C-alpha cells in the first residue's frame, strides 16, 4: 500500500518511474557527475501529463523525449524546506513513456563525498562514495526519491582509467578507451532510490566464494577479506532462516575509507562498511550479518515511507541476531546481544526528542535524518521479540518466512504489518491483548520487555559491580583476567559499568587502575575504545583528551563521533575543544555526518555556494515561456505539500 510520502516532491500516484537508464561521467577534477538519467514511466492516472521528480542542488541542462530528441518543457521549484530540495516538473507529450534528463551534480551534493588522495590509504588517487539513505539520492540524480517507488536500473559509469567503479548492481561488462574505462551495471530486482550507490577509486577485490568478494583499497584488501571471511556462511544461514534464496546474484562487500558515516549500508549486491569494523579478530562481524539480513528485510520487503523505518531496521536487527545465534549454535547469544541493544535504546531515549521516540515516526515533511536513531532498531527488535515470545519461536520464524514471501518486492506500512500478523495468527489466543497502539505510537521505552536470558552477561555484570566497589568502597581491584574474553563480553562489561555509574562517574584513580590492567585506551576495537572514551569524558579525565580527539577525527562513523562530540561539548574539560576539533576537521566528514555534528554542537556550517541552480531554473522557465509555453504554464498546477 502506498501512503502519501511527504519527504518527496515526486508524484508516483500520478506517474511512476519504473526503470532508470543512467549514464554517469565521473569528473574528479571538478568533483561533479555529468550525467543523463533516462526514465521509463507508467501512468497511474491515465490523464496525467506532468512528471514530478525530486532534485537537490542539481544543475539541469536539458530535458528531452528520447524517442525523437525533442526538448520538453520543465520547471524547477525550490521547496521552502531546504532538505526537500527542488521539484523538477516535466510536461510530457501525450502517450510519452520515456524521458531523458541531462544534468550535472554540484559540490553541494549531500549524497556524494569526494575524498582527496590524502584521505585514502593509498594517497595516490582521489576517491568518491555515495550514501543516499534516507533522502539524499535526489542530490545525485533526479528521481522519485521515496522508498515506496521501486525501479530497475542499468548504469554506465565512465571513470579515469586508473580507477575502478563499483555499484549496487551486477557488473555486465567493462569497456576500455584511451584514458577512460566504462563500467556497465544492471539491477534487475526493483529497488528504491535510496539503494542506488556507487564508489570509485583505486579499489581491488579478493574473492571469498563464487558469489562473494571483498573490495577495498589495495593496502587493506587482505585484512578486510580476512575480517569478513564468514560472509558466505552468514549468507547461507540467512537463506535458511528467510526460507527464500538470496535473489540479488552477487553479495560483495566494500570496505570504505574512514569517513564513511555508518557502520554499514545495505546497498544491494554491494554492502558498504566502515573500516572501524576491522578489529583484526572478526569480532564485529555482526554488522555484516545485519547488512546481509537487509537483503530480505529492507531491500526486498521495504518500508512504505520513512515513518515505518522500524519495518526495515527492527526486522533486520531481529534477523541479524537470529543469524548470529545460529553461528554460535546457542540461542543465548540472541539475548546477550539484545541486552546490549536495550542499553543503547535507553541511552537513545535520553537524547532523542519525544516526537521521535515512537516506533511509527511522525516525520511528515521534516528531515528523516533528524528522526534517525536506535529506536527503529532496538524498539523494533523488542516489539518483534515480544511477539515471538507470545506465539513461540517456531511459529514466529515461520510467520517471518510467510511475511517475506508475501511482501517481497513490495513496500508496506505498520498497519499493513499488523493486518498481516493478525490474519496469519487468526484464532490464536496468544495474540489477544497486544498493545499495538502503545507500541506504534507512544514515546519512551517499550511498554513490555521480554525477559532476557542473562547467563552470558553474568560475568560481565559481576565484573562491573566489582569495579564500582573499587570506586566506592575502596575494595581491592578485581583480578579477573579478561584476555580470553570476546569483544561483546567486554563491551557488555563497559555498558554495565556505564549504567551503574550514570549518576556518579568513576574516580580518576579507578579509571587509571582499570586502564593499567586492561589497556582499553589503546584498544584496536572501536566498540571498546568508544565506550572507554565515554566513561572517561563522564569522569572529566583530561589524560584521555588526546586519545578521544584522535578517535573522533580519524574516523567519521556517526555512531561513535556524534555521542562523543556531544559528551565532550557538555563536559567541563572539552566544550571548546569539541567545537575546535570539529571546525578543523569538518571537511574530513561525510556531508551527512558534518550536518549532524554541527547540529549537535549548535553550529551553522556554511555550505558550498551553488545558488546558480536556482537562478537558472527561473531563466529556463522564462525561456520555455518565451518559446510559446504560456498556455502550458497556465495548465500547470504546482501544489505545495502541507
Residue 263, annotated ligand binder? yes
Residue 125, annotated ligand binder? no
Nearest approach in angstroms of CB 157 to Zn ion is 26
Nearest approach in angstroms of CB 262 to Zn ion is 8
C-alpha cell at 506: 568513576
Residues 303-342 that bind Zn ion (CB under 5 A): 313, 316
Element (H, E) at 303: strand 301-303
Nearer to Zn ion, 202 or 313 (CB): 313
Residue 239, annotated ligand binder? no
Helix (H, G, I), strand (E, B) or coil at 204: strand
Residue 290, annotated ligand binder? yes
Residues 386-415 that bind Zn ion (CB under 5 A): none
φ, ψ of residue 539 to 5 degrees: the values are: -90, 5
Residue 557, annotated ligand binder? yes
Residue 385, annotated ligand binder? no
**CB crowding 288-323: b at 16 or more within 10 Å, else e:** bbbbbbbbbbbbbbbbbbbbbbbbbbbbbbbbbbbb
DSSP per residue, 584-619: HHGGGS-HHHHHHHHHHTT---PPP--THHHHHHHH
Q: How far apart are the first and last CA of the chain?
A: 21
Element (H, E) at 186: strand 180-192
Nearest approach in angstroms of CB 311 to Zn ion is 11
What is d(CA 351, CA 564) in angstroms, rounded to the nearest whole number?
13
Residues 423-452 that bind Zn ion (CB under 5 A): none
Nearer to Zn ion, 131 or 316 (CB): 316
Nearest approach in angstroms of CB 294 to Zn ion is 6
- Interface mask (CB under 5 A) for Zn ion, residues 534-573, using x and -? ----------------------------------------
Nearer to Zn ion, 56 or 316 (CB): 316
Residue 294, annotated ligand binder? yes
CA dist 255 → 86, 161, 238, 598 (Å): 33, 21, 21, 26
Of 189, 292, 287, 285, the C-alpha closest to 242 is 292
Residue 313, annotated ligand binder? yes
Find out whether 281 and 232 touch, Cβ atoms under 8 Å: no
Nearer to Zn ion, 120 or 316 (CB): 316
Residues 20-49 that bind Zn ion (CB under 5 A): none
What is d(CA 205, CA 185) in angstroms, rounded to the nearest whole number?
17
Of 84, 268, 263, 281, the C-alpha closest to 194 is 268
Residue 265, annotated ligand binder? yes
Find out whether 57 and 140 touch, Cβ atoms under 8 Å: no
Residues 465-484 that bind Zn ion (CB under 5 A): none
Beta bridge partners of 302: 411
Nearest approach in angstroms of CB 21 to Zn ion is 29
Nearest approach in angstroms of CB 547 to Zn ion is 29
Nearer to Zn ion, 272 or 620 (CB): 272
Residue 251 among the catalytic residues: no
Nearer to Zn ion, 291 or 335 (CB): 291
384-388 LR contacts (CB < 8 Å, sep 24+): 384/314, 384/315, 384/318, 385/318, 385/338, 385/450, 386/446, 386/448, 386/449, 386/450, 387/421, 387/431, 387/434, 388/318
Beta bridge partners of 171: 185
Q: How many CB atoms lie within 10 A of CB 568?
A: 25
Nearest approach in angstroms of CB 441 to Zn ion is 22
Element (H, E) at 205: strand 204-207
Find out whether 500 and 465 touch, Cβ atoms under 8 Å: yes
Residue among 127, 372, 377, 620 flagged as catalytic: 377
Nearest approach in angstroms of CB 194 to Zn ion is 12
Residue 151, annotated ligand binder? no
Nearer to Zn ion, 344 or 480 (CB): 344
What is d(CA 551, CA 124) in angstroms, rounded to the nearest whole number?
24
Residue among 217, 291, 378, 534 flagged as catalytic: 291
Residue 572 among the catalytic residues: no
Nearer to Zn ion, 404 or 490 (CB): 404
Residues 103-142 that bind Zn ion (CB under 5 A): none
Q: How many residues bind Zn ion (CB under 5 A)?
A: 2
Residues recognised as catalytic: 291, 377
Annotated binding-site members for a peptide: 131-133, 261-266, 557-559
Annotated binding-site members: 131-133, 261-266, 290, 294, 313, 557-559
Binding residues (CB under 5 A) for Zn ion: these are: 313, 316
Annotated binding-site members for Zn(2+): 290, 294, 313
Amino acid at each position: 500500500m502506498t501512503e502519501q510520502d511527504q519527504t518527496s516532491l515526486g508524484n508516483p500516484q500520478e506517474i511512476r518511474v519504473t526503470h532508470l537508464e543512467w549514464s554517469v561521467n565521473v569528473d574528479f577534477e571538478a568533483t561533479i557527475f555529468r550525467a543523463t538519467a533516462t526514465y521509463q514511466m507508467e501512468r497511474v492516472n491515465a490523464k496525467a501529463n506532468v512528471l514530478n521528480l525530486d532534485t537537490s542542488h542539481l544543475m539541469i541542462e536539458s530535458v528531452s523525449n528520447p524517442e525523437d530528441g525533442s526538448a520538453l518543457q520543465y520547471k524547477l521549484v525550490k521547496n521552502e524546506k531546504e532538505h526537500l530540495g527542488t521539484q523538477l516538473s516535466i510536461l510530457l507529450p501525450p502517450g510519452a513513456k520515456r524521458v531523458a534528463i541531462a544534468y550535472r551534480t554540484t559540490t553541494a551534493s549531500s549524497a556524494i563525498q569526494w575524498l582527496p588522495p590524502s584521505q585514502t590509504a593509498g594517497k595516490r588517487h582521489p576517491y568518491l562514495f555515495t550514501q543516499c539513505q534516507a533522502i539524499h539520492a535526489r542530490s545525485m540524480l533526479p528521481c522519485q526519491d521515496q522508498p515506496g517507488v521501486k525501479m530497475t536500473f542499468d548504469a554506465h559509469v565512465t571513470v579515469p582509467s586508473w580507477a575502478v567503479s563499483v555499484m549496487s548492481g551486477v557488473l555486465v561488462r567493462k569497456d576500455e578507451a584511451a584514458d577512460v574505462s566504462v563500467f556497465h551495471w544492471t539491477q534487475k530486482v526493483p529497488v528504491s532510490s535510496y539503494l542506488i550507490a556507487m564508489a570509485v577509486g583505486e579499489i581491488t577485490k579478493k574473492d571469498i566464494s563464487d558469489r562473494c568478494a571483498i573490495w577495498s583499497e589495495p593496502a587493506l584488501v587482505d585484512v578486510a577479506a580476512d575480517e569478513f571471511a564468514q560472509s558466505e556462511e552468514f549468507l547461507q544461514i540467512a537463506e535458511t532462516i528467510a526460507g527464500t534464496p538470496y535473489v540479488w546474484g552477487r553479495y560483495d562487500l566494500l570496505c570504505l575509507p574512514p569517513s564513511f558515516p555508518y557502520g554499514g549500508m545495505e546497498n544491494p549486491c554491494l554492502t558498504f562498511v566502515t573500516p572501524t569494523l576491522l578489529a583484526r579478530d572478526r569480532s564485529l562481524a555482526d554488522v555484516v550479518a545485519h547488512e546481509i539480513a537487509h537483503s530480505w528485510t529492507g531491500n526486498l520487503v521495504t518500508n512504505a515511507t520513512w515513518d515505518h523505518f522500524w519495518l526495515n531496521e527492527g526486522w533486520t536487527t531481529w534477523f541479524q541476531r537470529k543469524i548470529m545465534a545460529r553461528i554460535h549454535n546457542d540461542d543465548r547469544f540472541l539475548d546477550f546481544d539484545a541486552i546490549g541493544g536495550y542499553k543503547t535504546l535507553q541511552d537513545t531515549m535520553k537524547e532523542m526528542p519525544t516526537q521521535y521516540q515512537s516506533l511509527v515516526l511522525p516525520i511528515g515533511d521534516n528531515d528523516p535524518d533528524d528522526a534517525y536513531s536506535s529506536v527503529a532498531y532496538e524498539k523494533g527488535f523488542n516489539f518483534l521479540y515480544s511477539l515471538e515470545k507470545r506465539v513461540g519461536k517456531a511459529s514466529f520464524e515461520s510467520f517471518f518466512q510467510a511475511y517475506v514471501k508475501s511482501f517481497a518486492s513490495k513496500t508496506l506500512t505498520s498497519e499493513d504489518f499488523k493486518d498481516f500478523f493478525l490474519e496469519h495468527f487468526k484464532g490464536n489466543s496468544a495474540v489477544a491483548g497486544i498493545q499495538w497502539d502503545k507500541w506504534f505510537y507512544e514515546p519512551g521505552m517499550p511498554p513490555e520487555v521480554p525477559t532476557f536470558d542473562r547467563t552470558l552477561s553474568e560475568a560481565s555484570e559481576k565484573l562491573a559491580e566489582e569495579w564500582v566497589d573499587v570506586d566506592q568502597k575502596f575494595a581491592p581491584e578485581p583480578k579477573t583476567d579478561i584476555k580470553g574474553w570476546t569483544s561483546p563480553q567486554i563491551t557488555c562489561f563497559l555498558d554495565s559499568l556505564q549504567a551503574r555509574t550514570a549518576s556518579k562517574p568513576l574516580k580518576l584513580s579507578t579509571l587509571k587502575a582499570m586502564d593499567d590492567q586492561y589497556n582499553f585506551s589503546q584498544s584496536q576495537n572501536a566498540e571498546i575504545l568508544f565506550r572507554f572514551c565515554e566513561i572517561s569524558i563522564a569522569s572529566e579525565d583530561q589524560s584521555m583528551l588526546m586519545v578521544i580527539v584522535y578517535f573522533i577525527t580519524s574516523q567519521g562513523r556517526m555512531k561513535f563521533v556524534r555521542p562523543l562530540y556531544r559528551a565532550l561539548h557538555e563536559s567541563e574539560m572539552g566544550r571548546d575543544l569539541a567545537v575546535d576539533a570539529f571546525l578543523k576537521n569538518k571537511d574530513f566528514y561525510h556531508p551527512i555526518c558534518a550536518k549532524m555534528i554541527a547540529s549537535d554542537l549548535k553550529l551553522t556550517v556554511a555550505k558550498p555556494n551553488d545558488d546558480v541552480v536556482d537562478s537558472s531554473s527561473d531563466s529556463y522557465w522564462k525561456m520555455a515561456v518565451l518559446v510559446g509555453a504560456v498556455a502550458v504554464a497556465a495548465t500547470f498546477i504546482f501544489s505545495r505539500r502541507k
